[in-house]
């Protein structure tokens, strides 16, 4: 991708379509009534959480991904974009942390590291962690 940056547009479009689908499913499957904030860990350009915020109008959201990825993030009035590394730190204090199609990309050891950082962030409040994998 570094050699062909124009391919990011196609990749981002495909991921955004999947993100919108996941947001619809998550909005229907979970109780969002007490949720004030959602953090999408490894959430790419933020399409999933932005769509979810449209469906859960009382919540705000954060998308966390690598700097080069969130540089292409969508805009939404209740969405914060955080450039970072989920292996090192996850924004603390959110009510819900989403990891959608993230854990499968890593070895068991690395998945434990990511989930440990998410747990640390969730402990800052009373966070719930939602993992979605095929």
Q: Known catalytic residues?
A: 104
Report the distance separating Cα 49 and Cα 76, nearest Å: 9
Q: C-alpha distances in angstroms, 52 versus 21, 58, 108? A: 10, 11, 29
Please give the structure tokens belonging to residue 105.
Answer: 């990309």
Please give the structure tokens belonging to residue 70.
Answer: 């969130």
Please give the structure tokens belonging to residue 116.
Answer: 């440990």
Q: What are phi and psi of 79, to 5 degrees?
A: -115, 125
The helix (run of H) or strand (run of E) holding residue 128 is strand 128-132
């Amino acid at each position: 991708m570094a050699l062909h940056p124009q391919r990011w547009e196609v990749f981002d479009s495909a991921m955004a379509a999947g993100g919108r689908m996941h947001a619809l499913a998550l909005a229907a499957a979970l109780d969002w009534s007490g949720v004030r904030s959602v953090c999408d860990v490894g959430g790419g350009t933020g399409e999933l959480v932005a769509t979810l915020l449209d469906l859960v109008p009382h919540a705000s959201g954060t998308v966390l991904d690598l700097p080069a990825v969130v540089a292409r993030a969508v805009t939404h009035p209740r969405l914060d974009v955080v450039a970072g590394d989920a292996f090192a730190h996850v924004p603390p204090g959110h009510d819900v942390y989403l990891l959608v199609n993230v854990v499968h990309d890593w070895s068991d050891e690395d998945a434990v590291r990511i989930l440990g950082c998410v747990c640390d962030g969730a402990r800052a409040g009373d966070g719930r962690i939602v993992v979605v994998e095929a």
